[in-house]
Structure 1
Amino acid sequence: MWRKLRILILLLILLFVALNTYFDRVYSTDWNIPLRVTVYPINGDDSDAVDVFINQLKPDRFEAMEAFFEEEADSWGLAMERPVQFQSAPPLGEQPPALDRNANVLSIMWWSLRMRYWAWQSPDLPGAAPDIKLFVIYHDPAITPAVAHSIGMQKGLYAVVNVFADRSMIGSNDVITAHELLHTLGATDKYNPSNNQPLNPIGYAEPDKQPLLPQDYAELMGGRIPVTSSKSTTPESLRQVVVGQLTAEEIGWYKE
């Protein structure tokens, strides 16, 4: 009797999670109203320099990302003013659960559940709850010269974004943040994970360009600007980035 009851409760929980995930997916990409995104800055190195950097971030620092998404959405036929709207939360003093680089499938599943709960219980700002939460972890380049891989999760609508606390890298930080944000909306990576080279044609900003290489821009989910068939460069800001057709389809901006 008790065993059947426990199984029933578990099935109901799984059904609730599945339905919640489905409606999150539908709601986040119907584009009837702008998406509300809350950004939580985190000091990733417990560094005084990172604290100073975070405290000096300006309220208008999301202007470039909001303008980028508006321009790209408009280019695919979505005429909406500021389809993605950002707001900043106070810095969090707690690090998100860490994912072991060599984690197996079960470990990843367990991390995903812990991370989803951690994101859910993070404090909301006054007013309407955000649609998406971005946990942006800033690192001191003098302490952490190479950051961990960022991750955006469609299930739960959150992302953990690792960037550098360096003013010269604000533009490239925006590119990484925008990339992970689109992962939460269902966009897929469009580069070869073995060498980070954008995939032709889906990872190219201008797949019909003649000559094809070098490209002038990066496709956001391709991540880099192809220079040759084996070499690419990192965009310095969103001014060097576009959203390609397949990505636009995946997030509901473009329908054939």
Structure 2
Amino acid sequence: MHRGAWFYRLRVTLLGSVLVAVCAWACFDVMDRRARTEWNAPITVGVVVMRLGDVSPEALVRLTERVRVLERRLSMELRRYRPEAQQPMIRLVPYGPVEVTEPPPDVPGTTLWERLVHTVELFQYTSAVDRAAGVPTLALDSRIYLLAEPPRSGFDYSVEGYSEAGGRVGVARVSLDATTVDLGLFVVAHELFHTLGASDKYDEHGRTRIPEGLAEPDRVPLFPQPGAEIMARNRVVDATREIAPDSLEELYVGRWTAREIGWLTAPVRQRTESAPIADATRY
């Protein structure tokens, strides 16, 4: 056989083998992601805390301690829909804090190229953090990275985040002190639920959507709501006002969200029109 033809066949064979391996891995990953929301077994989620700047050590310790409280709260909400659940089906494992010198990549753009670049940059960033914190990446079903920053003088407290819908990685940022620990963990839970397939329950103006953004849409009287729906993030006080939750005890998983992540299998009633919340306090 001519040497050139032999080398060509070898290259084709190698490339074909790589393609088959990549396709097999992709199929396994898709099935593994879907299995998370079948809830046949608990999922394990890494909460990776990063510190940027002079953040209160006491607040960081408190943040790590409250991760267990968040886990218990999510278990309580699960049992509202699945009373038979006897163990935590979402296990939260804290890692860090890891000292970083720059924040994670910003929210991805809208074009395919921008999203591709963002994916690569985020992978590089989180890989470095994982090595520093000893995060067992392959052993976790999802990872939420929480960047803690010191509050800035003269500015409102900032809490924000982004994540891949149905993916494995979410990012949250919080201006952290003793008063914002639970607020930061609330956003961690919000981004986690995005990775499980839940959608936002607020509109383009940041106002809670009614009724799907309510903690208890059948409550009589409807207002004030007892807590904040996890994907709406604010507690609706009355027909014109909503505020940020005070603690993790106010975290609720509404019926629409429960349906999206597989906690609830019965159909959810169709949305009914109602007046929007006029004064939404987003955080």
Q: C-alpha separation between the residues in 2 aligned to 1:228 and 1:12?
A: 56
Matched residue, 2:74: 69
- Please, which of 81, 84, 88 is the counterpart of residue 90 of structure 2? 84
Would you say 1:158 and 2:169 are equivalent positions? yes
1:35 offset after TM fit, Å?
Answer: 1.6
Q: Which residue identity lines up with residue 208 of structure 1 in the other structure?
A: D
1:213 offset after TM fit, Å?
Answer: 3.1
Q: Which residue identity lines up with residue 91 of structure 1 in the other structure?
A: P
Q: C-alpha separation between the residues in 1 aligned to 2:24 and 2:98?
A: 29
Structural mapping, 1:1-256, within 5 Å: 15-16=23-24, 18-44=26-52, 46-47=53-54, 50=55, 52-53=57-58, 56-57=61-62, 60-77=65-82, 79-94=85-100, 95=102, 97-99=104-106, 103-105=109-111, 106-116=113-123, 118-119=125-126, 122-123=130-131, 124-125=134-135, 129-142=139-152, 145-147=156-158, 149-154=160-165, 156-192=167-203, 194-256=204-266
SS in 1 for 2:217: coil
Aligned Cα root-mean-square deviation (Å): 3.2
Give the paired residue count. 250
Q: Which residue identity lines up with residue 159 of structure 1 in the other structure?
A: G
1:215-239: CA deviation from partner (whole Å, max 9, x where unpaired): 2321111111123444211111121
Q: C-alpha separation between the residues in 2 aligned to 1:183 and 1:201?
A: 19
Mean Cα displacement is larger for which, 6-15 or 60-69?
Answer: 6-15
Q: Which has the larger radius of gyration?
A: 2
Q: C-alpha separation between the residues in 2 aligned to 1:225 and 1:51?
A: 27
Taking structure 1 as reference, are residues 189 and 7 closer, same or farther at Cα in structure 2, changes over 3 Å only?
Answer: farther
Mean Cα displacement is larger for which, 62-71 or 79-88?
Answer: 79-88
1:125 offset after TM fit, Å?
Answer: 4.4
1:157 offset after TM fit, Å?
Answer: 0.9
Conserved in 2, the CA contact under 8 Å of 1:119 and 1:158? no
Q: Which residue identity lines up with residue 82 of structure 1 in the other structure?
A: P
Q: C-alpha separation between the residues in 2 aligned to 1:80 and 1:96?
A: 38
Conserved in 1, the CA contact under 8 Å of 2:81 and 2:264? yes
1:96-139: CA deviation from partner (whole Å, max 9, x where unpaired): 641267x3423133202432454356234479822221211001
Taking structure 1 as reference, are residues 127 and 233 closer, same or farther at Cα in structure 2, changes over 3 Å only?
Answer: closer
Given the two structures, how large is their TM-score scaled by the length of structure 2? 0.75
Q: C-alpha separation between the residues in 1 aligned to 2:135 and 2:221?
A: 49
1:246 offset after TM fit, Å?
Answer: 1.5
Q: C-alpha separation between the residues in 2 aligned to 1:190 and 1:55?
A: 29
Conserved in 1, the CA contact under 8 Å of 2:224 and 2:237? yes
Conserved in 1, the CA contact under 8 Å of 2:159 and 2:184? no
Given the two structures, how large is their TM-score scaled by the length of structure 1? 0.82
Q: C-alpha separation between the residues in 2 aligned to 1:21 and 1:61?
A: 31
1:174-232: CA deviation from partner (whole Å, max 9, x where unpaired): 2111111111111111111x321111111111222333333232111111112344421
